[in-house]
Amino acid sequence: MFIFFKNKKIKFVIGFMLLFCFLNFQSIFASQYIDEESNLKIEGTQIDDRVNLNAKNMYRMNLMAKTERIVYIDNTKINIKAIKVSYLLNEFLGIKVREADILFIDSKNKKSIIKSYTDLIDENKDYMLIYSYENTDDNTNLDLINKYKSSGFILIDDKGIVSEKENLFFVDKIIINANFDVEQLPEPLVEFVDIGEKYSYAKEAIYEFANMGAVSGVTEKEFYPDVPATRAFVSKMLVEVLNLDLIEYNGTYSDVQKTDWFAKYVATVTSNELLNGYTDGTFAPNSEINRQEFFALCSSLAIKLKKITEKDIEKFLLTNSNFSDKDSIFGWVENSIAYLYSLGIDIPYMKTEFKPLQAITRGEAVYLIYSVIFNQ
């Protein structure tokens, strides 16, 4: 059945709509996802069960995991969609190691390569796993795209130009072999007897940080998790867990002496802009930190560790939180608290009343820093 329109305007509108639909139809089919039968198997250290991923799994990951860009693969211009390897290891798999050998296996061609963990998470190298290709123009080599599409996942480091002979590797299996596994560190020299049910959520964090020498008990067998954390305590913890080089203290603050045990830690956190002094020239090393101040510190740490950008943190709001006293939280820290809330922080008061001006405790402080670093 055909309908003829005499009105030129109607003809133009209908013609434009048909052209729009045609172009969108083409763009839909321009995307070339890896075959659904292709699975990426991941196993090894800190992975209890074998993980199997396909292109659909990767497509459904959050925006922080994915990247899309133009690359030249063997002189062919291709628009790729990929998962950042650093995100896959640290955030998706939750790997917590200082160093590891990561083995990438191409079972079909019986090949393998080994990359170091620190190399793979190096942002300057930008390692990615491609899960989709898109035509960039009419000159795109469809044979090449179909070849890669049917070959499964591809590991590349983005230098803008990719070559199958140099920096492109087909992958269907990853094995993680940690050389220095945090979970295999020796047990603490003492068992803290005062980490009861109230701080059960922080027990793992406290012992792991104790293993690193980042925190210690108030007595030989007591950690005192319920005691307020001081600025000196937090300074040492940050320096040790981030493995920062200690800086000599040069007398910046009137209330910190060079002979104080925390002097170098204060100088180091100040130099790295993790925790600053006050306008009156003091650092107040023995002062408490209230909850909203500490949550602001944690979000700043997440930004410095490139877990999230400052712009993205601004998108988090407390409207969906369960805090009965959200109106008492200062506006300047609302986004920071909302961001940490979104990580699923397991502190009991995160489900009820926040009490922003109450002091953060030693147990809470350790757990929060641990959660930010490892995104638990």
CATH architecture of 34-180: Alpha-Beta Complex (3.90)
Highest mean pLDDT among 15-24, 55-64, 300-309, 344-353: 300-309
Task: Evaluate if residue 293 carries a pLDDT over 50.
Answer: yes
What DSSP state is assigned to residue 335?
H
pLDDT score, position 341: 82
Lowest mean pLDDT among 88-92, 179-183, 331-335: 179-183
Query: Quick one: how far is CA 167 from the chain centroid?
Result: 25
Strands (E) in the chain, as ranges, are 31-33, 40-44, 51-53, 66-73, 76-84, 97-106, 111-116, 127-134, 153-157, 161-162, 168-171, 173-181
Amino acid code (one letter) for 288: E
Q: According to the model, what pLDDT value does residue 67 have?
A: 82
Measured distance CA(97)–CA(126) in Å, rounded: 19
**In 3-state terms, what secondary structure has residue 23?**
helix
Q: Do the beta carbons of residue 238 and residue 365 sit within 8 Å? A: no
The pLDDT score that the predictor gives to residue 130 is 81
Length of the chain: 376
CA 253 remoteness from chain centre = 34
CA distances from 191 to 72, 176, 206, 211, 219 (A): 56, 31, 11, 11, 11
| DSSP-derived pairing of the beta strands 40-44 and 173-181 | parallel
Whether this prediction's pTM lies above 0.75 is answered by no
Q: Sorting pLDDT into bands at 50, 70 and 90, what band is 345?
A: confident
At residue 298, the 3 state secondary structure works out as helix
pLDDT band per the 50, 70, 90 thresholds, residue 56:
confident
Are 104 and 93 spatial neighbours (Cβ–Cβ below 8 Å)?
no
**Domain span(s) for CATH 3.90.420.10 in the chain:** 34-180
- In tens, the pLDDT along 180-196 reads 344 443 444 557 899 98
pLDDT of residue 36: 57
Contact 294, 361 (CB under 8 A): no
Q: 171: which residues sit within 8 A by CB, 6+ positions away?
A: 40, 104, 105, 106, 129, 152, 153, 154, 155
Q: What is the pLDDT of residue 3?
A: 44
Give the full edge-to-edge strand order of the sheet including 111-116: 51-53, 40-44, 173-181, 97-106, 111-116
Dist CA 272 CA 303 (whole Å): 13
Q: Angle 291-304/362-374 helices, nearest 10 degrees?
A: 20
Work out the mean pLDDT of the chain and round it to a whole number: 77
Is the pLDDT higher at 89 or at 295?
Answer: 295
> What does the pLDDT read at residue 139?
52
Mean pLDDT, residues 278-302: 93
Question: How does residue 288 score in pLDDT terms, banded at 50, 70 and 90?
Answer: very high
pLDDT of res. 360: 94
Q: Which of 195, 202, 290, 272 is nearest to 235 (CA)?
A: 272
Q: How far apart are CA 286 and CA 227, in angstroms?
A: 12
The pLDDT tens digits for 155-179 are: 777 655 565 555 677 788 887 875 4
Residue holding tokens 């802009």?
A: 273
H/E stretch holding 87:
helix 85-87
5 — pLDDT class (breaks 50, 70, 90)? very low
Cα 306 from Cα 318, distance rounded (Å): 22
